[in-house]
Amino acid sequence: AQSVTQLDSHVSVSEGTPVLLRCNYSSSYSPSLFWYVQHPNKGLQLLLKYTSAATLVKGINGFEAEFKKSETSFHLTKPSAHMSDAAEYFCVVNTNRDDKIIFGKGTRLHILP
């Protein structure tokens, strides 16, 4: 069975410092992995996705994520946080086999001035 775990429900960083949002997955097959962002009172928006090409994936707004099969991780990073990054972030896995999609519980990112 597939699953996805976002290790932190809340993360706080100061503006201008690096961001790390952690995601681990479990999948019997080669997965597709996504990160979505949700700003307050808005729908979700795709940040980036991994689909078995390059393991380092670059997304919008300076975010990137690295697929590490040995660690079953897909952590989201950004070198320098901006106030506009304050939002909730969802890690998502799809096994490409049984056509199921699983959303993580979300990590709320707070940016301190």
Binding site for other proteins (CB under 8 A): 32, 34, 36, 41-46, 49, 51, 90, 94, 96, 99-101, 103-106
Q: How far is the CB of 43 from other proteins (least distance, A)?
A: 3
Quote the CA–CA distance of 36 and 17 in Å, as a whole number. 21
Quote the CA–CA distance of 98 and 95 in Å, as a whole number. 7
Which of 51/77 has CB closer to other proteins? 51
Q: How far is the CB of 96 from other proteins (least distance, A)?
A: 6
Which of 69/97 has CB closer to other proteins? 97
Which of 52/55 has CB closer to other proteins? 52
Q: How far is the CB of 38 from other proteins (least distance, A)?
A: 8
How big, in percent rounded to 5, are the helix, strand and coil portions of the chain?
A: 5, 55, 40
State the DSSP string of 61-106: GG-EEEEETTTTEEEEEESS--GGG-EEEEEEEE-SSS--EEE---
Q: How far is the CB of 36 from other proteins (least distance, A)?
A: 8
Which of 41/70 has CB closer to other proteins? 41
Strand partners, 67: 74
